[in-house]
Chains A and B, each alone.
Chain A
Amino acid sequence: MQLSPLPAPDDDAQAPADRWSPERQLAQMLDLCEAQMESALAESDGAVDQLIKTFEGLAETMRGARSVAAKLPHESRPDADFANQLESMAEQMASAVVAFQFYDKLTQRLGHVRYSLSTLALFVCDRLQSSEPNQWRKLFTSLKRLYRTEEERRLFQLMLDGVSADDAKAQIQQSAESRTASAGEIELF
C-alpha cells in the first residue's frame, strides 16, 4: 500500500486534509509493523540456514565417528563410555531436528500475521467497509481461514469471544504441554 508520508508533528497544521486521515495513519502503522516483521524474518532466515548447515556438518562428523568406530577391530573398539557418548549425541541431534521445526512453524504463523496486518491496513482505509459491523465479521471469517495450527485457531477464537489479549495468551501458554504432546501425533488410515 502506497501512503502519504507521515507528517512531522510540526507539519500537522499544514497537512492537506485530503491526504491525511486517522485511517491512513493507522494503515501506515500497520504496514510498518508488517514491514518490520518481514525484515526481521528475512534476517533470521539467513542465520537459521547457516545454523542448519552447521548442524548437518556436526551430524555428519558424528555419523562418521560412529562408522569408523564400528569398523575398528574388536580389540581396538572404543570403550562403552565412547559408545554412550555417541548415543547421547544422536539423541541430542534428534532433539535439534524437532527444535528446528519450530522455526518453520514460527515463520508460518508470522506469515499469517503479516497477511492479516496488510489486509487490515487496506480494510481500515475503506470507510464504507470499516463502518459496517457485517464487513468486520466477514474480515474476521476470512482471516480465520488462514490459520492452520491449533494454537492460532484457539488464540483467535478466544480474542473473538472477548477474552483480553493477556488472558488469551495465558490460556494458550497454560496448555502448552498438551499441545507439545499432540505434536508428532501419528494416525494411520
Chain B
Amino acid sequence: MSGVPAQSILAVDDSASMRQMVRFTLEGAGYKVVQAADGNEALELARTQAVDLVLTDVNMPGMDGITLVRELRTLPAYKFTPMLVLTTESGAETKQRGKQAGATGWIVKPFNPDQLLATIARVL
C-alpha cells in the first residue's frame, strides 16, 4: 500500500481467529506482521528479530501480555518501541498494571480496523 512504510508489527494472541483478524487488518495496510501465540513465543521472536511495534493480548497461557511488555522493556532494543495492549479487559486495575509495565496504550476488543490502524500510525 502506497505511503505506508513496510514496518513490522509483532501480534501476540492465543486465539488463532484473533491473530487472523489482526494480521488481515495490518497486512491490508501494508505492515509486515509477525505472530506469536503467547508471551514466551513473542519474547523469543522479539529477541531474534527487531520489530517496530508490539500488539499484545493480556490473558494467554504461559506468559501473559503484561509480563511480556515488562520483559521487553528490559531489553535495550525495546526500550522505546511502542507496545499496545489489545484485550477484552477494560478494568482500571489491569489497565494500570499494563501502564506500569510500560505499555504505550490500551485497546479494548473488539477493535475497529480503522481505529486500530490510526492508533498504530500515531504511536509509530
Residues of A within 8 A of B (CB): 48-49, 52, 56, 59, 63, 94, 97-98, 100-105, 107-108, 148-150, 153, 182-189
Q: Which residues of A contact B107 (CB under 8 A)?
A: 184-186
Which interface residue of B88, B103, B119 has the most chain A CB atoms within 10 A?
B88
Give A44 to B115 CA distance when docked, in angstroms.
29
Residues of B within 8 A of A (CB): 15-18, 20-21, 24-25, 28, 58-59, 87-91, 95, 99, 103-115, 119, 122-123
Q: Which residues of B contact A187 (CB under 8 A)?
A: 95, 105-106
A186 near B113: Cβ-Cβ < 8 Å: no
B104 near A189: Cβ-Cβ < 8 Å: yes
10 nearest interchain CB pairs?
A: A101-B110, A188-B105, A185-B108, A184-B112, A94-B113, A187-B106, A189-B99, A104-B15, A149-B88, A98-B110
B111 near A101: Cβ-Cβ < 8 Å: yes
Query: DSSP majority for the A interface?
Result: helix
Give A63 to B112 CA distance when docked, in angstroms.
19
Q: Which residues of A contact B28 (CB under 8 A)?
A: 59, 63
Give A150 to B111 CA distance when docked, in angstroms.
16
Closest CB in chain A relative to B78 CB, distance in Å? 16
Give A94 to B115 CA distance when docked, in angstroms.
11
A97 near B25: Cβ-Cβ < 8 Å: yes
14 A-B pairs in the complex with CB atoms less than 8 angstroms apart: A49-B16, A94-B112, A94-B114, A97-B24, A98-B110, A98-B112, A101-B18, A101-B109, A105-B110, A148-B58, A149-B88, A182-B108, A189-B99, A189-B103
